């Protein structure tokens, strides 16, 4: 059951294990827990506004809408979009506490079957082994170094601690190392993340760039798009003409090229000298 409680540590919500295991973004999971805080104990109904949810999660209402669609598609949330005539009202949500695939259980509820904690299942073990075998310790170091280089952080003061290792390992379970190397550099292609925002703040923390699939793919694609654009910027072809000899030496006029590839003729050393 996912309901709100109050303890010595303050209010909290209990989340069913099947919801934790859903293939949804971290943001959607946080949204589920937030709505659960508002939900009625008996019915599971709640009706906080989108603005309230956005404020609690410190995101935009568009982001809330995207996460709501994720939860609705995953079967973790029912949404009734209400109107009073032509005026929109707050959505009515119903937290789904029982897995749609579960059967039986106490009082019409059910919990998904659990494997033995000690042995687990062969399928889970195979999946875990596959995730581990997909990367090496060097991949973790390379990704961290790419992030250091892109952010300009001092490598003597910025450590690859257990928390950062865990962030990178979690991302490596889903994406190859090359994707993550691009992702930790992609923030530089976003004006907002470079600091061109109302707060004038740069957003390039490792935990943000590799937060979930949505962030990883966004920053990876930004970086790769920029790389493709850069590769298309080839130098303009020029017709290079052999310079005429100066008549005083065998060097003749020397032709060089500036940083844009344009020819820039200069005199040979003998002609630079005063007569």
pLDDT by residue (tens digit) across 185-210?
999 999 999 998 888 899 999 999 99
**Same structural domain, 79 and 139:** no
Q: Indicate the residue among 60, 79, 108 that finishes a domain.
A: 108
Give domain status of residue 119, yes or no: no
Which residue's structure tokens are 């957003």? 203
**Same structural domain, 146 and 212:** yes
pLDDT tens readout for residues 95-138: 888 887 764 443 334 444 444 444 444 544 444 444 444 668 88
Label the pairing between strands 87-88 and 10-13: unpaired
Give the pLDDT of residue 132: 41
Give the structural domain span for 191: 125-231
pLDDT tens readout for residues 148-178: 999 999 888 999 999 999 999 999 988 898 9
**Same structural domain, 188 and 90:** no
Give domain status of residue 218, yes or no: yes
Tell which residue, 107, 210, 230, has the closest CA to residue 164: 210
How many other C-beta atoms lie within 10 A of the C-beta of residue 65? 13
Give domain status of residue 176, yes or no: yes
Indicate the number of domains in the chain: 3
pLDDT tens readout for residues 56-78: 899 999 999 999 999 999 899 99
pLDDT tens readout for residues 203-230: 999 999 999 999 999 999 999 988 887 6
Strand positions, DSSP E, 218-262: 254-257
Residue 46 and residue 64: Cα distance in Å, rounded? Answer: 15
**Same structural domain, 95 and 141:** no
Give domain status of residue 113, yes or no: no
Q: For residue 29, what is the domain's CATH number? A: 1.10.10.10
**Same structural domain, 70 and 154:** no
Give domain status of residue 116, yes or no: no
**Same structural domain, 99 and 131:** no
Give domain status of residue 117, yes or no: no
Residue 210 and residue 190: Cα distance in Å, rounded? Answer: 15
Local structure of residue 70 (DSSP, 8 states):
H
**Same structural domain, 130 and 225:** yes
Give domain status of residue 120, yes or no: no
Give the pLDDT of residue 255: 47
Give the pLDDT of residue 227: 81
Give the pLDDT of residue 109: 40
- Which 3 state secondary structure label does DSSP give 74? helix
CA angle (15, 18, 23) in 5-degree steps: 105
Six-digit token pair at 143?
A: 């990704």
Helix 162-172 and helix 137-151, axial crossing angle in degrees, nearest 10: 110
Average pLDDT over residues 89-96: 89
């Amino acid at each position: 059951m996912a309901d709100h409680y109050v303890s010595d540590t303050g209010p909290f919500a209990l989340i069913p294990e099947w919801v934790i295991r859903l293939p949804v973004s971290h943001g959607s999971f946080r949204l589920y827990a937030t709505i659960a805080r508002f939900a009625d104990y008996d019915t599971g109904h709640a009706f906080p506004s989108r603005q309230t949810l956005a404020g609690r999660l410190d995101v935009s209402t568009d982001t809330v809408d995207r996460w709501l669609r994720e939860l609705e598609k995953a079967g973790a949330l029912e949404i009734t979009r209400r109107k009073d005539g032509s005026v929109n009202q707050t959505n009515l949500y119903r937290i789904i506490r029982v897995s749609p695939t579960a059967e039986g259980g106490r009082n019409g509820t059910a919990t998904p079957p659990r494997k033995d904690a000690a042995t687990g299942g062969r399928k889970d073990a195979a999946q875990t082994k596959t995730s581990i075998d997909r990367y090496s310790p060097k991949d973790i170091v390379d990704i961290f170094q790419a992030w250091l280089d892109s952010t300009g952080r001092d490598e003597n003061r910025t450590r690859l601690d257990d928390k950062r290792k865990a962030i990178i390992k979690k991302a490596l379970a889903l994406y190859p190392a090359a994707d993550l190397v691009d992702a930790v550099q992609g923030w530089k292609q976003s004006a907002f993340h470079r600091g061109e925002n109302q707060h004038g703040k740069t957003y390039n923390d490792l935990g943000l760039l590799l937060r979930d699939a949505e962030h990883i793919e966004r920053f990876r694609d930004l970086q790769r798009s920029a790389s493709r654009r850069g590769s298309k910027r080839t130098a303009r072809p020029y017709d290079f003409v052999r310079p005429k000899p100066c008549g005083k030496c065998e060097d003749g006029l020397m032709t060089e090229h500036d940083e844009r590839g344009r020819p820039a003729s200069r005199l040979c050393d003998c002609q630079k000298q005063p007569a």
